[in-house]
């Protein structure tokens, strides 16, 4: 009996999971210190940096994807540098997809962690300071453990958001089989080719996945509410 999901679809699923995993790991590393800074700083640049972080939420994905494509292209400064280094252009490559996904999903990683840090308040850090803990030690031993629910939420949201990307990945990576074709663009290709049965299988999988993510987030929130005094 033939599988209802083709080899090309499985290939797209594998690439999507790889892209989501790499993007999530990178964003957790980048977003955690950024979220900490936004939650603690009194700098006049706070609102500007916060607005830049949030910008992908309001920009149409095709607009964001277009400017990232220009940036990575032969006329963009990133493309100029990568060509000078002998790496070549990153547009229409998996690396280019990762760069676009990191930028596009940045607010989904930063905001939950920032809110978790802000919910801790100043008191635990002040207590750590009275015990002669250095700022970095207080961050690692006090702030991070208390913000773990926000970090987990950020990881789930980032992974799910990357899986569901379409406009940005299509603009930056195109739809190259085995290289840049992810689930969302695979569905688009099936619809264009009027292969609705295959499109239904992938689309239904996306619906189930999205529901599971929302259910997981709801349970995480319930658990966090029970922990809070």
Interval 82-114: pLDDT, tens: 999 888 899 999 999 999 999 999 999 999 999
| pLDDT score at 1 | 44
Residue 87 lies in a domain: yes
Local confidence band at 222 (pLDDT 50, 70, 90 cut-offs): confident
Judge whether residue 221 has pLDDT over 80. Answer: no
**2 belongs to a structural domain:** no
Q: List pLDDT tens digits, range 166-207.
A: 989 999 998 888 899 999 999 999 998 899 988 999 999 889
Which structural domain, as residue segments, surrounds residue 13? 7-227
Q: In this structure, is residue 176 part of a structural domain?
A: yes
What is the pLDDT averaged over residues 157-164? 92
Q: DSSP readout, the chain?
A: ---SS-HHHHHHHHHHHHHHHHHHHHHHHHHHHHHHHHHH---TTHHHHHHHHHHHHHS-HHHHHHHHHHHHSTTSHHHHHHHHTT----TTSHHHHHHHHHHHHHHHHHHHHHHHHHHH-SHHHHHHHHTT--HHHHIIIIIHHHTHHHHHHHHHHHHHHHHT--HHHHHHHTT-TTTT--HHHHHHHHHHTT-HHHHHHHHHHHHHHHHHHHHHHHHHHHHHHHH--
Question: What CATH number is associated with residue 220?
Answer: 1.10.3720.10
How many structural domains are present in the chain?
Answer: 1
Q: What is the model's pTM? A: 0.89
Nearest to 95 by CA among 68, 64, 67, 118: 68
Q: Evaluate whether residue 1 is within a structural domain.
A: no
- Is 80 within a domain? yes
When comparing pLDDT for 107 and 220, which is higher? 107
- Does 175 fall in a domain? yes
pLDDT at 224: 65
Q: Residue 219 — pLDDT band, cuts 50, 70, 90?
A: confident
pLDDT of res. 128: 77
Identity of the highest mean pLDDT range in 3-7, 23-27, 58-62, 185-189: 23-27
Enumerate residues 6+ apart whose C-beta is below 8 A from 77.
Answer: 71
Q: Does any domain span residue 166?
A: yes
């Amino acid at each position: 009996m033939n599988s209802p999901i083709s080899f090309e679809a499985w290939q797209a699923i594998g690439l999507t999971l790889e892209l989501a995993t790499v993007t999530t790991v990178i964003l957790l590393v980048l977003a955690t210190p950024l979220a900490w800074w936004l939650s603690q700083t009194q700098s006049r640049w706070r609102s500007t940096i916060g607005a830049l972080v949030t910008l992908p939420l309001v920009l149409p994905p095709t607009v964001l994807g277009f400017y990232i494509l220009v940036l990575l292209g032969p006329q963009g400064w990133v493309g100029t540098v990568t060509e000078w280094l002998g790496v070549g252009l990153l547009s229409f490559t998996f690396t280019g997809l990762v760069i676009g996904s990191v930028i596009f999903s940045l607010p989904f990683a930063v905001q939950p962690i920032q809110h978790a840090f802000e919910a801790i308040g100043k008191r635990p850090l002040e207590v750590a300071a009275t015990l002669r803990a250095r700022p970095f030690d207080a961050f690692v031993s006090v702030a991070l453990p208390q913000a773990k629910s926000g970090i987990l939420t950020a990881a789930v949201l980032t992974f799910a958001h990357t899986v569901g990307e379409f406009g940005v990945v299509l603009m930056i990576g195109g739809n190259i089989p085995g290289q840049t074709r992810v689930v969302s663009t695979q569905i688009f290709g099936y619809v264009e080719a009027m292969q609705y049965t295959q499109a239904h299988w992938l689309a239904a999988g996306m619906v189930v996945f999205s529901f599971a993510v929302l259910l997981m987030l709801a349970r995480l929130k319930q658990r966090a509410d029970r922990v809070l005094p």
